Amino acid sequence: MKNIAILALLVVAAALGYWFGGQQHDGAKVGPGDTAPASASAPAGKKLLYYRNPMGLPDTSPVPKKDSMGMDYLPVYEGEDEDAGGSVKISTAKVQKLGVRSEAAAMRDLSRPVRAAGRVEVDERRVFAIAPKFEGWIERLHVNTTGQPVGRGQPLFEVYSPELVSAQREYQVAARGVEQLAAAGPEAQASIRQVAEAALARLRNWDISAEQVERLKAGGEPTRTLTYRSPVAGVILEKKALQGMRFMPGEALYQIADVSGVWVIADVFERDIAAVQIGQAVEVGIDAFPGRTFAGKVGYLYPTLNPQTRTVPVRIELPNPRGELRPAMYANVQLKVGAGRTALAIPISAIIDSGAAQRVIVQLEEGRFEPRDVKLGLRGDDYVEVKEGVKAGEQVVVAANFLIDSESNLKAALGGMKDKPAVSHHAVGTLDSIESDGSVMVTHEPVPSLNWPTMTMAFIPANPALIDKIKPGAAIHFEFVERKPGEWVITKLEAH
C-alpha cells in the first residue's frame, strides 16, 4: 500500500514538471542576441526580412530588440518593405480615413469642345462701295437712311453730270454718222464706227446700266440725269450721299453689305489653337437667341496673337439667309476637337503636376501604392491621354493622391538614409554638456565603423528622455545614426 502511494506521488510530480517546463518554454523571452522564430508570427509564405524602428528612425536590426523608450522593433516581411521600388503601404483604416478613391485606366473617346467668345462681323468679301467715276451732283435720293435694306438693281440715287450728258450726245452723233455713211467707203465707215464704240465704252466704264445703254443704242434721246442702282442685295452700312451735294470721281457715296453670310471672329486661347483646323464644324450660340445654335465652319486662322489676352482670332463662316445675325452681336463658339479618337486615358484629377513632370499614384494592391511619372497627350474635359507610365486596367488614385504622394516622398527621404549596411554605430565617451537647443556635446573614443579618431562633437538625442538621468561629466556608452548628412542622432544612451 505504501509502495502504491509513492508511485502515485512520482506520477503527479512528473506531470507537474512537464507542465511547468512547457510553461517556461512558452513564456521564454527572446534575447537581444537570439533569432526570433519568424514562422511563429510571419504571414503564410512570407519571409522575415528585418526589424525596423517603431518611431520611424532609420535603424534596423536583424533580430528583435527594443528602442530607448522600451518599444519593440516592428517586423518587416518579404513583400512588405515600404521603400521597395518607391512604393508605400497604407493601412486599410487609413485609406478609408483619407477618402482614397481609384479608377482604372481605359480606352476612352477624348473628343472635347474648345469654347471661345466671339462677335458677329460683316463678311468683308460681301461689302461694296458705290463711288461714281465722274463728277456730278445728286439731284434725288431713293435710299436715304443707313441700315435700309436694298435689292439687287434697286435705284439708289439720280445724278446730273455735264460729262455724262456730253458723252451721251457724243455717242448719239457717232451712231447717226454710222447710219449716214453707210454708202461711204470702208475707211470712212470704220473711222466713224470706232468713234461710236469709244463713246459707248466710256459710258460703260462709268458704270452706266445696260438698260440705259441699250436705250441710247435704240435711238433714245440723251437724258439729263442718270439713275444709279445697287449692284447687290444687302443693307446700307454707310451713307454719305446728300440730296443736292456735289461729288468728285471716286468719292464713296454708299457702302452696301450683303449679310446673307456673316463672319464670327472667335478668340481662341493659345493652348487650344493647335487643335483647331480649317474646315472644322462649329456650333455658334448667340446671346440674342437663347436656346438656338447656328452651324458654321472654320474659314481662317489669323497669323497673329493678342499678347494681352493670349488668344488667336479664328474666323468662322456662318450662313445668315434670314438676316437674323447682325454685326457686333456677341457669340459663344464651340468647336469639336478630336472627335472619333480613342486613346488610353485616366481622369485629370489623378495627375499631380509639379511643373517639371507629371505623376500619378498607382494602386498595386489593397493598401499598397506606387508613384509613377507619366507622359500625357490630348486633354479632354474630364480625362487626359496617357502615353507612357500606366497600362490599361491599372488603378490610378483620383482622390487623396496628393496625401499619398507626400507620404511616398517622406518614405523615400527616410529610405535615402539607409544606404549604408551598418546603420547604427557604437561608441563610448564622456557627456560634456547639454546645450540649450537640446543637443549634447560628447567627447568620444575612436569609432571603428566610421574610422573616426577621438574627438569632441555635437549629437542630437532621438528623445529627450535619453539624457534625463545622465549628468554632464558622466561616462557613457551610446548608439547613434546619421539622419542626414552631418546630423548625428543618438538612439540609445546609458551610463558606462
What integer pLDDT is reported at residue 137 of this predicted model?
94
pTM here is: 0.50
Task: Quick: pLDDT tens for 323-372.
Answer: 899 999 999 999 877 655 788 888 988 888 877 788 888 888 887 888 88
Asked if residues 239 and 257 have their Cβ atoms less than 8 Å apart, the reply is no
In the numeric block, which cell numbers belong to residue 311?
A: 488668344
Q: Distance between CA 325 and CA 321 in Å, rounded?
A: 9
Contact 238, 142 (CB under 8 A): no
Q: Strand, coil or helix: what is 97? A: helix
For the segment 70-80, the average pLDDT, to the nearest whole number, is: 72
Q: Over the stretch 85-101, which tens digit does the pLDDT of each residue have?
A: 457 777 777 777 778 88
Q: Return the C-alpha cell found at 96.
A: 478609408
Q: Are 270 and 248 in contact (CB under 8 A)?
A: no
Contact 397, 452 (CB under 8 A): no
Through-space distance between the first and last CA atoms of the chain, rounded to whole angstroms: 64
pLDDT in tens, 307-320: 999 999 999 999 99
Other Cβ atoms closer than 10 A to 496: 12
Segment 266-270 shows an average pLDDT of: 93
Domains assigned to the chain: 2-86 (no CATH), 101-110+341-415 (2.40.420.20), 132-251 (no CATH), 261-329 (2.40.30.170), 425-495 (2.40.50.320)
CB 195 within 8 A of CB 202: no
Write the CA distances from 319 to 263, 268, 283, integer angstroms.
Answer: 9, 21, 12
CB 461 within 8 Å of CB 432: no
Please give the sequence-ordered ranges of beta strands (E in DSSP) within 261-382, or none if there are none. Answer: 261-269, 281-286, 293-301, 311-319, 330-337, 342-347, 352-353, 358-365, 368-379
